[in-house]
Amino acid sequence: MAKKKNRTMLSSYTIIILLIIGLAILSWVLPDAKYQTETLDGRACVEQFKEDDSSLTSCVFDSENLSAEDCAAKMSEDEDAIPSSCTTEVLENGSGTVGATLSQVLKAPILGFENAIDVAIFIMILGGFLKIMDKTKALETGIKVLVQKLHGRELWLIPILMLIFSICGTTYGMLEETVGFYVLLAATMFAAGMDPLVGSAVILLGAGSGVLGSTINPFATGVALSSLPSGVAANQGLVIFIAVVLWLTTYAISTLFVLAYAKKVKKDKGSTILSLREQQKAEKTFGKFAEASKEKAHLTGKQKVTLWLFALTFVIMIIGFIPWGEFNITFFNSFTGWLTGEALGDWWFYEAALWFFIMSLIISFINGYGEKDFVDTFVDGADDMIGVILVIAVARGASVLMSQTFLDNFIIYNASDFLSKLPEILFVPLNYVLHIVLSILVPSSSGIATLSTPIIAPLTANLGYSTEVSIMTIVSANGLVNLITPTCGAIMGGLALAKIEYSTWFKWAFKVVLTIALVNILVLVLFSVL
């Protein structure tokens, strides 16, 4: 392996912590939030109390006006107590931010862990599953056989796999679900004479190009359309058409960049962008696959069955995550969810985690592992994922702090006022830039759509601009950011599994992302003026 000078790089944890500190400072620099009072009836008062009793200023019980403290105490003591009315403080949208406290900054990563607990459990069990697979040697041998069969044609895998991932991205927003594929693709590309970054790029840019150009993705385009306020309409067919153009152009750009880098590395290992430390980690983790590929490979009958079960595990997971009901597909309604508690199409990470655990048991049984072998191996695999889980949790912490300080609210409301004064030719690119900034703070596609659409869509309609373009501006800008932002748990977790430092990924992906952004803006501007 080519030797390279070992670069000193900030860890993923440090990068995210610095971002959290930066957000905290920003919350103090921006104007303070303002509040106004609001009178609620009894039932609404109770609901508000359950949500946030700190906003109560007073309430009325039996014609007696009580202080906030007495009101809260009375409703806490008696669950059936319902005041005739109450007065609350309500944040004026976009008025300002609330300065982050030291405790909020320190607790942000911990609350991020709470926020990401579903993903964390899934990844931990995924680690156990992969360790069981590693013990069978089926995956190692399977990769060896694949590389030998593709000898001289390994690069064909890149556009094919990226297309498959992108289809999953544009239809149902496959992103965090890709975490399980990073080890497999990193190992495959390493064995094929490339490096783990190629495998990571295939997954991230493949799925990411689809999410960026979400056509029928209910978590992005679907949420945006459903968040349109009354009186604001959008042509869904036109939205999908714009999405298709964004999807295919982004896929084409991404594929060309990945192919160019893969060819360069395959021709000369010394041209890898990975640091010496990353190369050493890759060699330690994936080197056995490369060495094995040099030997004549043959899968045993038991290994073939194991690989089929391995593939089935991921296929069922994907089917389980796709919200079939959103597409008016009722075929899976007959699946009652007797195994996981939820029917296929209604799965989330808890159901996926249970499914992987069940398949771990089945694969262990087929390969003749005893109880002790299974437990020891599975626990070792789960332990290997602790670092990945921690980086995802810390990344979520940035979003938690941003929400606590109302930074997202402030930015969107004040930026909309600025955008209203611009001609359409400038409105589109600056709206795109605005949502790049917002998406760094709110990486969730459904979150940004819910936050932004009710504000930006009416503004766009009132100005006489294209609502359809505005919707896809929100969706595509968010998709672009989730190709590179450290606040995206899927990125940080996937890169950690592939043994790639975030700073290395940022350095390589920056040119790709910039090119995609420029083309995206051009496409959106063209649709806005047509």
**CB within 8 Å of 240: residues ≥ 6 apart:** 215, 216, 221
Paired sense of beta strands 85-91 and 56-61, if any: antiparallel
Query: What is the C-alpha separation between 495 and 387, in angstroms, rounded?
Result: 11
Q: What are phi and psi of 90, to 5 degrees?
A: -120, 135
Give the position of tokens 């800008």.
477
What is the per-residue pLDDT for 273? Answer: 93
Q: How many domains does the chain have?
A: 3
Q: For residue 7, what pLDDT is reported?
A: 52
The answer to the question of residue 408 being in a domain is yes
- Asked if residue 464 belongs to a domain, the reply is yes
Lowest mean pLDDT among 69-78, 303-312, 313-322: 313-322
Whether 111 is in a domain gets the answer no
- Residues whose CB is less than 8 angstroms from the CB of residue 158 and which lie 6 or more positions away in sequence, other chains included: 198, 202, 255, 258, 259, 262
Distance, in Å, from the CA atom of 88 to the CA atom of 54, rounded to the nearest integer, reads 9
Distance in angstroms (rounded) separating the CA atoms of residues 407 and 403: 7
pLDDT digits (tens, 9 = 90+) for 198-221: 999 999 999 999 999 988 776 688
How far apart, in whole angstroms, are the C-alpha atoms of residue 313 and residue 360?
Answer: 10
Domain shared by 420 and 501, yes or no: yes
Quote the tokens at residue 341. 């508690």
User: Residue 393 above 80 pLDDT?
Assistant: no
Q: Which of 379, 408, 442 is the last residue of a domain?
A: 379
| Same domain assignment for residues 402 and 517 | yes
Biggest CA pair distance of the chain = 88
State which H helix or E strand residue 91 sits in.
strand 85-91
CA-only gyration radius of the chain, Å = 25
Domain boundary among 379, 411, 442: 379
| pLDDT over 90 (residue 475) | yes
In a domain, 206, yes or no: no
Judge if 402 and 519 occupy the same domain. Answer: yes
- A 10 A CB-CB count for 511 gives 10
Query: Could you give the angle at which helices 182-191 and 489-497 cross, rounded to 10 degrees?
Result: 40
Interatomic CA distance for residues 408 and 426, integer angstroms? 22
Q: How high is the pLDDT of residue 1?
A: 43
Rounded CA-CA distance 66/59 in Å is 5
What pLDDT sits at residue 327? 67
The two structure tokens encoding residue 8: 């000193």
Residue 316 and residue 372 in one domain? yes
Measured CA distances, 294 to 16, 267, 297 (Å): 40, 17, 9
Q: Please give the single-letter amino acid code of residue 505.
A: W
User: In the prediction, which pLDDT does 511 show?
Assistant: 95
> Is 159 contained in some domain?
no
| Residue span of the structural domain in which 332 resides | 122-136+301-379
Identify the H or E element spanning 279.
helix 276-293
pLDDT greater than 60 at residue 130: yes
Residue 101: DSSP 8-state: P
- Nearest one of 146, 475, 467, 114 to 307, comparing CA atoms: 146
Residue 104 lies in a domain: no
Q: Which two tokens stand for residue 382?
A: 């789960």
Report pLDDT for 515.
Answer: 97
Angle between helices 489-497 and 386-404 (to 10 degrees): 160
pLDDT, position 9 = 56
Q: Judge if 503 and 408 occupy the same domain.
A: yes
Instruction: Kindly state whether residues 484 and 426 are assigned to the same domain.
Output: yes
- Please report whether residue 252 resides in a domain: no
Tokens at 505, concatenated: 């990924």
* Most confident option among 84-98, 182-196, 199-213, 377-391: 199-213
pLDDT at 517: 96
Sign of the torsion angle spanned by Cα atoms 105, 110, 112, 114: negative
Domain match, 329 and 423 both: no
Q: To which H or E segment does residue 456 belong?
A: helix 445-462
* Residue 501: Cβ-neighbour burial (10 angstroms; 0-12, 13-18, 19+): buried
Say which residues have a Cβ less than 8 Å from residue 342's Cβ, sequence separation at least 6: 320, 348, 351
One domain for residues 409 and 519: yes
Residues forming a β-bridge with 85: 41, 60
Residue 261 lies in a domain: no
Q: What is the arithmetic mean of pLDDT over 517-522? A: 96
| Low-confidence winner among 7-11, 214-218, 272-276, 355-359 (lowest mean pLDDT) | 7-11
| pLDDT value of residue 289 | 65
Strand boundaries in 150-283, DSSP class E: none
Q: Mean of the pLDDT values across residues 145-151?
A: 72
Nearest CA among 219, 217, 181 for reference residue 201: 181
Residues 372 and 410 in one domain: no
Rounded to an integer, what distance in angstroms lies between the CA atom of residue 67 and that of residue 71?
A: 6
Q: Are residues 456 and 493 in the same domain?
A: yes
Q: Supply the pLDDT for residue 336.
A: 57
Residues 403 and 524 in one domain: yes
Can you tell me the distance from the alpha carbon of 314 to that of 317, in angstroms, rounded to the nearest whole number? Answer: 5
**In the structure, what pLDDT confidence band is assigned to residue 143 with cuts at 50, 70 and 90?**
low
At 299 the three-state DSSP class reads coil
Q: Between vectors from CA 118 to CA 115 and to CA 121, what angle results, nearest 5°?
A: 125
Percentage above 70 pLDDT, the chain: 92
Q: What is the per-residue pLDDT across 181-202, written as a single tens digit (0 to 9) for each?
A: 788 888 888 888 889 999 999 9
Rounded to the nearest angstrom, the gap between the alpha carbon of residue 273 and the centroid of all alpha carbons in its chain is: 25
**What does pLDDT average to over the chain?**
83
Strand partners, 60: 65, 85
More confident call, 186 vs 47: 186
* CA atoms of 186 and 12, how far apart (whole Å): 19
Is the Cβ–Cβ distance between 316 and 355 less than 8 Å? yes
List pLDDT tens digits, range 228-271.
887 788 888 888 899 999 999 999 999 999 999 999 999 998 88
Section 420-447 average pLDDT: 83
Range 33-44 burial, b when 16+ CB lie within 10 A, else e:
beeeeeebebee
Q: Give the pLDDT score at 250.
A: 97
Report which DSSP code applies to 219.
Answer: I
Q: pTM above the 0.85 mark?
A: no
Q: Return phi, psi of residue 329, to 5°.
A: -100, 115
More confident residue, 385 or 262: 262
Q: Same structural domain for residues 411 and 470?
A: yes
